[in-house]
A and B are shown apart, each in its own frame.
Chain A
Amino acid sequence: DADVTQTPRNRITKTGKRIMLECSQTKGHDRMYWYRQDPGLGLQLIYYSFDVKDINKGEISDGYSVSRQAQAKFSLSLESAIPNQTALYFCATSDFGGGTGTDTQYFGPGTRLTVL
């Protein structure tokens, strides 16, 4: 079974609709992330959470919100979707390595979102 799962895997919606993307993990990691991937732009960090009570904005948080319901669950919402939010969205967890400063990321399979 996959350690990081995302639902749905594909979604087509219309401008102005509210959309929620869900992420669950069985790795037991405290840290969870949401990224957006656009062709040729690499990964852009939307939001991140270092534990259940800690939520932080990333570099492109406008138009998005998140909820950390439990250690294992981290949801991303688009309150009113717009076409330029069409992208591939990835959830990730990390096992922060303490004194070594090593923060290896583990990614879900992605959600392809199309906003018409």
Chain B
Amino acid sequence: GDSVTQMEGPVTLSEEAFLTINCTYTATGYPSLFWYVQYPGEGLQLLLKATKADDKGSNKGFEATYRKETTSFHLEKGSVQVSDSAVYFCALSSNTGGFKTIFGAGTRLFVKA
């Protein structure tokens, strides 16, 4: 069945460091790919998405490119801030099983001032 694998955390960075959180997926069909973010004490919210191969999703300085050849959707940001401290979830939705969303296990990011 469909699945999402993302790097284990926690990831600890200093402010202004470069961020990469790796995400790979397994899916039949042609999934849409997502990154969601969960700030402390809140529910998840959409950070960015891409619906087809080679699309780049971007928001708030974060970017991820849909790579079909490597089945990956890695999240990057050039300069993180303390306010980026959160848990990041990679996810996919596909036409398998009625377009339900499959989430990765989440990666916690700590950014130090």
For A109, the closest partner residue in chain B by CB is: B43
Q: Which residues of B lie under 8 Å from residue A74 when comparing CB positions?
A: none
Main secondary structure of the interface of B (DSSP, over half): loop
1/0 contact string of B67-103 vs chain A (CB within 8 Å): 0000000000000000000000101011100111101
Tell me whether A101 and B45 are in contact in the complex, defined as CB-CB below 8 angstroms, given that A40-B105, A42-B103, A43-B103 are known contacts: no
Q: Are A101 and B104 in contact (CB under 8 A)?
A: no
1/0 contact string of A37-66 vs chain B (CB within 8 Å): 000111101001010000000000000000
Q: Are B105 and A103 in contact (CB under 8 A)?
A: no
B44 within 8 A of A: yes
27 A-B pairs (CB sep. < 8 Å): A4-B43, A41-B105, A42-B106, A43-B89, A43-B103, A45-B100, A90-B43, A92-B44, A96-B99, A100-B32, A101-B30, A101-B93, A101-B94, A101-B95, A102-B49, A102-B51, A102-B93, A103-B100, A103-B101, A104-B34, A104-B49, A105-B101, A107-B43, A107-B44, A109-B41, A109-B43, A110-B43
Q: How far is the CB of A77 from chain B (nearest CB, A)?
A: 20
Tell me whether A103 and B93 are in contact in the complex, defined as CB-CB below 8 angstroms, given that A41-B105, A50-B98, A96-B99 are known contacts: yes
For A110, the closest partner residue in chain B by CB is: B43
Q: How many residues of B contact A (CB 8 A)?
A: 27
The CA-CA distance from A110 to B44 in the complex, in Å, is 9
Q: Are B94 and A42 in contact (CB under 8 A)?
A: no
Tell me whether A94 and B43 are in contact in the complex, defined as CB-CB below 8 angstroms, given that A100-B51, A101-B93, A102-B93 are known contacts: no
Q: Which residues of B lie under 8 Å from residue A43 when comparing CB positions?
A: 44, 89, 103
Q: Which residues of B lie under 8 Å from residue A105 when comparing CB positions?
A: 36, 44, 46, 91, 101
